[in-house]
Amino acid sequence: MPAEITAVTPRSPAARTKIAPGDVLLSINGHAIGDILDYRFYAAARRLALTLRRGSREYTLRLRKGEYDDLGLEFANGLMDDQRRCKNKCVFCFIDQLPPDLRESLYIKDDDARLGFLFGNYITLTNLTGREAARIIEMRLSPINVSVHTMNPELRCKMMGNPNAGGSLAYLGAFAQAELDLNIQLVLCPGWNDGEELRFTLRELLKLPTVKSIAAVPVGLTKYRENLTPLRPFTREEARRVIEIFEEFRSVAPPGPAATSPLASEGGLELCCSDEFFLIAQREMPGVEYYGEFRQIENGVGLWASLRQEMLDLLWRDGYDDYDPARADGLTLRATIATGTATAPLLRFLVDEMKKIWHNIHVNVRAIDNRFFGEQVTVAGLLTGQDIIEQLRNDDLGEVLLLPCACFSRLVEGQTLDGMTEGDIARALGVPVIGVGGSAQVLLDTLIGGDWKQGSFLP
């Protein structure tokens, strides 16, 4: 796609030139610009020769800037190319389990290495070409986040419904040889890639010297699985066995080149199960030392430990001066926090810690069952407005209702998956509603600092 320029950032290096919206960027220092990776890589240089097209005429200009300073061009398409769609038909694909008639964007399956670089998305490698892999190596795009699932080539082809799924694992070796860091995600399905298959996968991955993290998450299943491959959730005992396998590999030096990499507790290799595995297994959640640098926290790996430790540090180590301790006995508040069933126990713990200081606050944490997708779905980010309203309609919600920001898409006017805004929920329940970000600091600022009184969505 043409790299059409839509805007030039004021006071940027490009603003000092004659570049104008509507121009098309063709090359930088002789390198053709095909997409956002080309642009960011070649525009990092101090001296630039830009070739552009205006109408039917091409022109070239030269400029200097600081190395890695933003050139200041904005483009009609964020990737400057078509987004690459997933070519797999994974037996566990969550998008295939969505009900009909949701907004169209929810059904898009991406598998684009550029989104991995820009936003940390995980890729499967199955639609990567040799040329694209060479470019990743040339540009030193690291870390690379990969959804592997299994290192058994035949099983990977079967699980991912793609005959190229096994052969594409060779890219892992090429990236490791090029010294690019790798973060590996394993979506585990009971009876498929757990047990001895999981042990095989871990052994093979730990032969790669640049693997920085390996994390396992359980398959997510909704009630909309008609005509799909039969799958079932993990039982308590099966989840415990997954955790035990990871503990086996954490307790001994990994084989092969990775033997020199210390485990997460020493700041090196992270070998972790997701929070959901510990919840299913009914095992005590690990402390922060289990997760190292929390490289896969966005996948729900260590979120519980991180939030718990943050709250304890704020209240008992760093102090709570921002919240005026002199007001502790006089502060009164009645509020409700609604969240997914997986997160509710953690939020109850956080609220209990707050009440040790502010004795007169009354905050009820309500776990919302996900009836829309099925009660096997327990995360807050997949709650719908209709489930929240239906289950809270007859509750005494107090002065304010807090909902996780994860419920509301930032891309579609802050809507839940079923198209409701905070304002819609507030009007239905007759109480102010505010979305709260996933940090202890934000929770304290909102409840104790009174941030909800400004900018909340009133009924």
CATH of residue 19's domain is 2.30.42.10
For 27-36, write each residue's pLDDT tens digit.
999 998 888 8
48 or 101, greater pLDDT: 48
**Are both 126 and 63 inside the same structural domain?**
no
Question: Looking at residue 254, which CATH number applies to its domain?
Answer: 3.80.30.10
**Are both 216 and 334 inside the same structural domain?**
no
pLDDT computed for residue 256 by the predictor: 42
Residue from 333, 331, 404 nearest 366 by CA: 404
Above 80 in pLDDT, residue 265? Answer: no
Two tokens at 222?
A: 């909704």
**Are both 332 and 244 inside the same structural domain?**
no
Q: What is the percent of the chain with per-residue pLDDT over 90, rounded to a whole number?
A: 59
Question: Looking at 171-175, 202-206, 216-220, 451-455, which range is the least confident one?
Answer: 451-455
Helix (H) or strand (E) holding 367: strand 361-368
Above 90 in pLDDT, residue 246? Answer: yes
**Are both 329 and 214 inside the same structural domain?**
no
**Are both 25 and 143 inside the same structural domain?**
no
Task: Please indicate, yes or no, if residue 458 is contained in any of the structural domains.
Answer: no
Above 90 in pLDDT, residue 53? Answer: yes
Residue from 103, 121, 91 nearest 220 by CA: 91
**Are both 60 and 22 inside the same structural domain?**
yes
**Are both 161 and 272 inside the same structural domain?**
yes
For 317-329, write each residue's pLDDT tens digit.
766 666 655 555 5
**Are both 11 and 39 inside the same structural domain?**
yes
**Are both 281 and 363 inside the same structural domain?**
no
Q: How many residues does the chain have?
A: 459
pLDDT computed for residue 261 by the predictor: 46
Distances (CA, A) of 346 to 86, 307, 330, 343, 444: 35, 8, 26, 6, 15
- What is the extent of the structural domain holding 326? 308-453
Q: What is the percent of the chain with per-residue pLDDT over 70, rounded to a whole number?
A: 88
| Omega before residue 218 within 30° of 0, cis | no
Bridging pattern class, strands 182-188 and 270-273: unpaired
**Are both 103 and 227 inside the same structural domain?**
yes
Above 80 in pLDDT, residue 194? Answer: yes
**Are both 159 and 40 inside the same structural domain?**
no
